[in-house]
Amino acid sequence: MKVDQHSSEYEEVYPLHKLDDIEGFRNNVIWMVRFNDVLDAEKLADSLSRLLEIGDWKKLGGQLRFKADGKLEVHFQKSSTPGSRNVFFTHDSYEMRIQDHHVARRLPNATDGPSTHLISEDFRPFIARPNFPTFEQSVRQNEPQISLHVTSFKDATLVALSWPHVLMDASAGKALLSGWSAVLAGREGDVPVVIGARDDILLQAAMEDKAVTSKEFKLEKNRLTGVKLLVFSLRCLWDKFWNPPRQQRTVFIPGAVLDKLKADVRQEITEESQSSQNVPFVSEGDILISWICQAAASTMSKPRPLAIMSFLDVRSRIPEIRKSAGVFLQNMVLSTYAFISPQTATSSIGAVAVSHRQHFAEQSTDAQTLSFLKSVYRDIDATKKPRLIFGEPNSVPFLINNVSKAELIKLVDFSPAVLRQGESLETRKNPIGTMVTYWNEGLERGWSGFNVCWMQGRDHDGNFWMMANLLPRTWAKLEEDLRRLHEENLLDSGKESF
């Protein structure tokens, strides 16, 4: 800690860990959250700022600075100036209902049946303040790492929270939302302790485990390098040139429709299983991922293998980490890969789901996670970035971020900040002060040329929300599936279709 005797400030310096400060994370993550109540924006900003003064939560309340070697660290300064905040807070207000705003009325919202909602560039004023800086600009300008942009309507509130990816991942973001809710409610004692703010416990765990060697890393044989990597890169550029731009959409799936999809797929798996006594297990996530990937494969002009990359939170995969009784505010994400043959990709959703589950089970063990982690650290030492491309040179890549188990939609409780109830009790499905839905956003959109899916999870009424970036023909197939499932569900329940 450094103390300036000539001012009323003190400074603490925090490092960024080895898996944090990599080139691919030098961008901004944004969560845009929708509430169907009117919230006190100032109270939200004050409580968030207060959280970032507690213990090592200060690591999120500081500013990023470049060191002499080009790497980053966090400097936290606490000033005694009244009213100062360690978040960049902006607030817009409209004296109208959200449905009366010509742009906001098109924001994703629950519907009577399944639906998709185009994420438009017009939404940017709700996602971030005007002239939102690039990552490097924000560092050079010594800005707070956390930005809070609130948009108020007469019956709703949009809350956009952003941070640099080098700071933390989605699981740490979940901890941030939980701690923020606790401070807002006056329960600072419930704010979890931050572990590893200064010491890289993840690196220590990987380096101290001598039982795991690089020879045991099963994915190594599938890594693309040299000519194969060049072919893969050129194929991606070729696909981007010949295909129309992908569309980013939010998907709303009523609980009954999702249950119908799951039942149909599990029936497929049972019928295709060679033994009725040993039917393969697949999760809800396996089914949804496979539904999307099979839809994409079935609309290709020529079948190709798929490489499905799913992000994996290693907090639950490394013994030293999962035994900890606190939160890690850093990046602790690797990935698993499912390699789907052209034949399987164009068969049934169930077949894709079974294959996806088998790959995940094999790669997500403690030993494989540690092997992958060691491989990533070696890459960072050698080239300053991980080598994460696996599969066939002509495979079609899919990036999956499934955070549905985190139940983020149900986590946030901002009821102490409610100024006025928005939606009436007669129609609303969620408790007052809780979110309706949210979505992930990245202003740089470096993934816009790829197939990407974010699974957000179920809301308070049991409906499922997800977001994806896919080709128009894939969206047409998915929307056709949703219509069919909805109509079949209505027939099964004895209701008339409309």
Render each residue's pLDDT in the chain as its tens digit; 498 residues. Answer: 443 333 345 689 999 999 999 998 999 999 999 999 999 999 999 999 999 999 999 999 999 999 999 999 999 987 656 668 999 999 999 999 999 999 999 999 999 999 999 999 999 999 999 999 999 999 999 999 999 999 999 999 999 999 999 999 999 999 999 999 999 999 999 999 999 999 999 999 888 766 555 558 999 999 999 999 999 999 999 999 999 999 999 999 999 999 999 999 999 999 988 776 789 999 999 999 999 999 999 999 999 999 999 999 999 999 889 888 899 999 999 999 999 999 999 999 999 999 999 999 999 999 999 999 999 999 999 998 999 999 999 999 999 999 999 999 999 999 999 999 999 999 999 999 999 999 887 777 667 788 999 999 999 999 999 999 999 999 999 999 999 999 999 988 776 543
Let me know whether 155 and 216 are in one domain.
no
Token pair of 483, please?
């219509």
Do 89 and 235 lie in one domain? The reply is no
Residues 26 and 175 in one domain: yes
For residue 483, with 0-12 CB atoms within 10 Å meaning exposed, 13-18 middle and 19 or more buried, which class applies?
middle
For residue 441, tell me if it sits in a domain: no
- What confidence score (pLDDT) does residue 308 get? 97
Q: Are residues 275 and 178 in the same domain?
A: no
285 neighbors 467 (Cβ within 8 angstroms): no
How far apart are alpha carbons 378 and 64 in whole angstroms? Answer: 25
| Residue 245 shares a structural domain with residue 355 | yes
Tell me, what CATH number does 166's domain have?
A: 3.30.559.10
Residue 437 falls inside a structural domain: no
**373-401, pLDDT tens digit by residue?**
999 999 999 998 999 999 999 999 999 99
Q: Give the pLDDT of residue 65.
A: 96
Output the pLDDT for position 498: 39
- Give the model confidence (pLDDT) of 42-86 as tens digits: 999 999 999 999 999 999 999 999 999 999 999 998 765 666 899
86 with 107, same domain?
yes
- Domain count of the fold of the chain: 2
Whether residues 285 and 153 fall in one domain: no
CB 302: neighbour CB atoms within 10 A? 6
Query: Hunting for tokens 């010594």 — which residue is that?
Result: 142
| CA gap 465, 458 in Å, rounded | 6
| Pair 56, 143 in one domain | yes
Q: Say if 431 falls within a structural domain.
A: no
Q: What is the residue range of 84's domain?
A: 2-190
Asked, for residue 160, whether it belongs to a domain, the answer is: yes
pLDDT at 3: 37
The answer to whether residues 35 and 178 belong to one domain is yes
- In the numeric block, which tokens belong to residue 451? 């197939």
* Whether residues 135 and 219 fall in one domain: no
**Does residue 487 lie in a domain region?**
yes
Provide the whole-model pTM: 0.93
Tell me whether residue 414 is in a domain.
Answer: no
The conformation of residue 118, written as its DSSP 8-state character, comes to E
Q: What angle, 0 to 180 degrees and rounded to 10, lies between the N-to-C axes of helices 255-272 and 472-492?
A: 90
Given 154, 171, 190, which residue is the final one in a domain?
Answer: 190
Q: Quick check: 375 and 345 in contact, CB under 8 A? A: no
Token pair of 146 as six digits = 């956390």
Name the domain boundary from 190, 219, 250. 190
Report DSSP state, residue 390.
B
Residues 254 and 176 in one domain: no
Which of 190, 210, 241 represents a domain boundary (last residue)? 190
| Residue 110 falls inside a structural domain | yes
Q: Which residue has the tokens 């500013």?
A: 63
The answer to whether residue 330 is domain-embedded is: yes
Distance from C-alpha of 182 to C-alpha of 165, rounded to nearest angstrom: 24
* pLDDT (0 to 100) of residue 81: 67
**Pairing relationship of beta strands 451-458 and 28-35 according to DSSP bridges:** unpaired
Statement to judge: residues 151 and 287 lie in one domain: no
